[in-house]
Each structure stands twice: as structure tokens, then as C-alpha cells.
Structure 1
Amino acid sequence: MSDSEQSADAAPEAPKSFTVTLNVRRYDPEVDTEPHWESFDVEMYSTDRILDALHSIKWNQDGSLAFRRSCAHGICGSDAMRINGRNRLACKTLVKDLDITKPVYVEAIKGLPLEKDLIVDMEPFFDAYREVRPFLVASDKPEKERHQTIAQREAFDDTTKCILCAACTSSCPVFWTDGQYFGPAAIVNAHRFIFDSRDEDAKVRLDILNDKEGVWRCRTTFNCTEACPRGIQVTKAIAEVKQATLGTRGV
């Protein structure tokens, strides 16, 4: 057998693991008065995600570590957290995309009440979401489907992608400092129906968002757009709702 044939038959080289240090901001309300940082060394591979690292810590080092996760594929949005100071989904953040020569910092998202470790109380977030009436309102009763052109669908297509992870809302400085602000995610979900040609409640939603804690609290910092794991143009959607509120764009 030639050298080339031997090389072709050789087993592929196994991927190499390496150690990553995670600094996790911990908080247990039963024993802690303030959150504190705790360091963990985790053996990982370049294709692993931060969620894999958290699983490894919980299963092999400290079973008390608390965080949310469900689908692990960037669809449910439950594992939103701050990773190296940026809001991300742990299940979509690959280790190879981070600078692992330094510790990776992981903490809960900001602006919502901290319950334990990486878990926050999402009720204030969902309260704002429910307040903008995020459902189709239509009085007609078609025999089959409600017709809509491609152009009509495109008007709100981007905002249908929201998975309610709160990454955008909890990245907003106004939301951090003003507990009454609806926040980007609620406005995005209002946009989805305001611009839906089949819906009849656009004016009601616009009146809600024209309140002092509505769209006019947005300072256009683009934090929300950068934080969105689904690539929604959040700031653009908020601007379109502002325009609609002023009556400068038909809905």
C-alpha cells in the first residue's frame, strides 16, 4: 500500500478540547444579600455553546446553578442572558466566537427583577406585551382564509420573527431606568398587528403607544436591534410605529 493510500485510510484527527473559564454572576435570595461572581473552569470544544458550558457546570460541578433553557436551538428564547456584556442566547453563542484567552462573563439580563443566578422575573415584560393587544382583531368572518397580498405581508414580515426572549427590551437603557416603559419587544409585537392589513385595531394600539411611556420614550440607541437574536430591525419598527402615531404613514 502506498503512502497516499495509507494517509487516505488514516482515521481523522479527533477534535481537541480546551479549558474555558466562566465567571458566572450568582445570586441565591435565601443566602445572599447581593449578587457575586463565581469562577468555573470547563472543558470545551470549539463547536460548543455557552449553554453547553452551563450544562457542564450544573451537571458536573454545582447543581445549584439556576438558568432557563428549553429548545436549545434559538427558537424558544428562554436562555437570554448577558455574555461578555452583550445580550445573547446562550444556545446560539459559540465558544469559538468568543475570546477564550480571557474569562467569559455570564450574568442575568438587566432591567427585570433578579430571582436566582441567571433567572429573572419575566412578568413585567409579559405585562407590557399583553397591554399592546398582541393578537388579530377582525370582525369579518370569511368562509375560508383572509386574503392578503405579498406587499401587505411584507409590511410586517420582519416583526413576526419575535420569540419574546426579552434580549432587546433588557438591552434598552430607557427600560433599565424607567420601569413603566413598554420596551422594544412590546412595540415590535404591536407593530406586527398595526401594519397587518387584516387587523382592525391599529388605532387602539397606536393610542396605547402614544402614551408618555410608549414609543416616544425610545431614544434610538439601536441597542435593541444589535441584541435581537432573530435579526429583527427593532429600531426601524419603532420608528415606523412613531410615524403611524403621527399619521404620516397609513396603516
Structure 2
Amino acid sequence: MEFIISRYNPETDSKPYDQHYHLPDAEITPDMMLLNALQKIRELDPGLSFRSSCQEGVCGSDGMNVNGQNRLSCITPLSSLSTPVKIKPLPGLPIIKDLIIDMSLFYQHYKEIDPFLQATSLNPDREHLQTPQQRSELDGSYECILCGCCSTSCPSFWWNPDQFLGPAALLAAQRFVVDSRDIMPIERLKSLDDPMKTFRCRHIQNCTAACPKGLNPSQAIQSLKAKILSHD
């Protein structure tokens, strides 16, 4: 099986370049994931750099662009990919080395939406209750693993990475705005009422197509926009 992997070492290279690799069919099992293939390739070339941790689609560390689509390598079956398999780092953010990108800006935007519950003081004699309906409002947003696949597939993020918060951050913002336990929804909406932070989204829906968890950031952003406009 053929692989074309983008390589870049800022200490020695002026720009990224493609390197070709071959794995014999005898080393590929029917259920092999892309990450397993990359680990085998790294045995051949120890200098190849990429992130991975849990290898179960939970940590989100191994996001990369595979045959033109952002994916998690650990849950991408080799059998689902056409050859040669073309692998590049997630687009739109600086490259640290090879397939490893600098996600500092991504996390900065996430931090900006205050991604924590702002609630009344806890009463140790009582649970912080929600009805089943209130709890269901969080479905489809809390499952985000911050892999960055959605934001780095978004043209609005590519064009305005320092101003547009991006799908992942806005999905998280929606999660706290709709949480019945949060006491700051209006303040959250006011902070997001900005033509670049939120309304730069054009609903191209690349983010939804790229999400490895099957979430719908585009729909969440639409809902967030509607709430902002209703409180103007």
C-alpha cells in the first residue's frame, strides 16, 4: 500500500514536501487503522512525527488531513481509503513538524468562550438538578473532544484565524448557553455578539462533515446566532 506523507522540519526545510512510503500487503491486516500503518512507517523512518495517545478516538490528538478530508487516524480504517493515501497536517494552523500542528490559537479561542459552568453556589445538602429535557439540550455538544478537525476544515477560520472563534469553540459556547444550570447565558451571548467572532460563519458545513464524533457544529452555530439576535 502506498502512502504520500507531507514532511516538514522548520530547522532544515524551507517548505513542506511529500515523501513516499510503501507498506507490503503482508503487513496490513483487514481491520488495521491508519494510525497502526503510520506506526509501522515510523519504524522504517523514525524521524516521521505525528501525535497520538489513546488510539481509541477519545483524546483527539491524532487529527490529520487524509485524502483531502480531516480525520482521526486511529479510527480511520485503511480499507476505507483509496491509494495512494495522501496525508497532510490539519490545515490552517502553523506546522511544528511533519503532521504536528501548533494548536495554541485553537485553544485560545476555546478559552475565550469561558468553557466552564458558571452556576450558583453549591448546596452540599442538595444535588444541582436538571430535568431529563434540560439534560437532553446538551446532547450533541458536550461530546466534542477538541481534536480540531472541524475548525481546521473551515474557510472562515482559514481566512480569519485570529478573529473568528471557529466551530469547536462556538459549539462549546452553545453547550453552556443552553445549560439550565448556567446563570450567565445573556452575558455569554453578549460577548459573542460580534461580526467576526460568531457571525463570520457562512454555514458551508465543512465542520459538520469533518467531525469524527458525528456532531453538528454548523447547526449549533445557527442556533447560537438565533439566540444572539433574539436578545439584541
Q: TM-score range by the shorter chain?
A: over 0.9
Counterparts of 1:66-215 in structure 2 under 5 Å?
A: 66-99=49-82, 102-142=83-123, 143-179=125-161, 180-215=163-198
Q: Provide TM-score, normalisation by structure 2.
A: 0.95
Q: State the Cα deviation string for residues 109-149 of structure 1 (Å, max 9, x = none).
A: 01111110000001100000000000000123222321101
Instruction: Calculate percent identity across the aligned residue pairs.
Output: 42
In the TM superposition, what is the alpha-carbon distance from 1:172 to its structure 2 partner?
Answer: 0.2
In the TM superposition, what is the alpha-carbon distance from 1:213 to its structure 2 partner?
Answer: 1.9
Q: Which ranges in structure 1 are unaligned for 5 or more consecutive residues?
A: 1-19
Matches of 2:213 and 2:33 in 1, distance apart? 17
In the TM superposition, what is the alpha-carbon distance from 1:216 to its structure 2 partner?
Answer: 0.5
Residue identity in the other structure for 2:71? R
Q: State the Cα deviation string for residues 40-93 of structure 1 (Å, max 9, x = none).
A: 00131221111011100112x110100000000000000000000000000010
Corresponding position of 1:34: 15
Report the RMSD for the aligned CA atoms in angstroms: 1.0
Matches of 1:174 and 1:139 in 2, distance apart? 36
Corresponding position of 2:40: 56
Residue identity in the other structure for 2:70? N
Q: State the Cα deviation string for residues 133-183 of structure 1 (Å, max 9, x = none).
A: 000001232223211011111112110100000000000011111122100
* 8 Å contact kept, 1:208–1:214: no
Q: Which ranges in structure 2 are unaligned for 5 or more consecutive residues?
A: none
Matches of 1:140 and 1:236 in 2, distance apart? 32
Q: Provide TM-score, normalisation by structure 1.
A: 0.88
Matches of 1:139 and 1:223 in 2, distance apart? 37
Matches of 2:191 and 2:100 in 1, distance apart? 29
In the TM superposition, what is the alpha-carbon distance from 1:204 to its structure 2 partner?
Answer: 2.1
Alignment pair present for 1:243 and 2:226: yes
Q: 1:46 aligns with which of 30, 45, 51?
A: 30
Matches of 1:204 and 1:34 in 2, distance apart? 44
Residue identity in the other structure for 1:132? I
Matches of 2:186 and 2:4 in 1, distance apart? 47
